[in-house]
Amino acid sequence: MPDVLFEQQNHNHQSCINQALKSAEKICQQKGLRLTPLRKRIFKLVWSNHKAVGAYDLLETLHLDDPKAKPVTVYRALDFLLKAGLVHKIESLNAFIGCLKPETAHHSILLICNHCHQTDEVEAPQIYERIFQLAVQNAFTPQNIIFELQGSCRNCQKKLSN
């Protein structure tokens, strides 16, 4: 899967979702985790596009099939998906996006377009390595590092310049 989704003109998103689901099922099986039908449904909703989605947006969509669904249901499913490494939380937006490479440990940066809200994940091991060096030099043990860059994607830059 390419690192920069913003540049793809003919992106087959259904194929993207299918591949993500296949990976999620394999990872859960390998880790002995249960990808229940509800967790799978939430996972598919997160992957419905490459835009960050909030828990209450997920709940609203879930209500179409299950009007009795509660926020705690969505948050528990998201917590499972986060711990399994299948989704990322975008802290600045309090929203979630599917992880592009859940099979491997990786260090990435989330690129978030302020205009179209597309979100991409790009590898950035050098940045993480430097951050860890700084932490060690300062006798600090980082537990959670999330890099988010907000700006304009290539497509929106073109639209804005016209």
CA 31 distance to own-chain centroid:
20
Q: Answer yes or no: is 5 within a domain.
A: no
Residue 79 lies in a domain: yes
The total domain count for the chain is: 1
Q: Is residue 49 part of a domain?
A: yes
Q: Taking 70 as the threshold, does the pLDDT of residue 14 lie above it?
A: yes
pLDDT in tens, 34-85: 999 999 999 999 999 888 999 999 999 999 988 999 999 999 999 999 999 9
Q: What is the DSSP string of 126-146?
A: HHHHHHHHHHHHTT---S---
CATH of the domain at 114: 1.10.10.10
Contact assessment for residue 87 and residue 81, using Cβ atoms and an 8 Å cutoff: yes
For residue 2, being part of any structural domain is answered with no
Q: Within a domain: residue 19?
A: yes
> Is residue 46 within 8 Å of 53, Cβ to Cβ?
yes
Query: Is the distance from CB of 54 to CB of 78 less than 8 angstroms?
Result: no
pLDDT exceeds cutoff 90 at 145: no
- H/E element holding 121? strand 119-123
1 falls within a domain: no
Whether residue 80 lies inside any domain: the answer is yes
The domain in which residue 154 lies consists of: 10-161
pLDDT at 151: 94
Query: Tens digits of per-residue pLDDT, 99-140?
Result: 988 888 888 899 999 998 889 999 999 999 999 999 999 999
* Predicted pLDDT of residue 62: 92
Q: Whole-angstrom Cα distance, residue 99 to residue 117?
A: 16
Q: Is residue 84 part of a domain?
A: yes
pLDDT of residue 113: 93
Task: Grade residue 146 by pLDDT with cuts at 50, 70 and 90.
Answer: confident
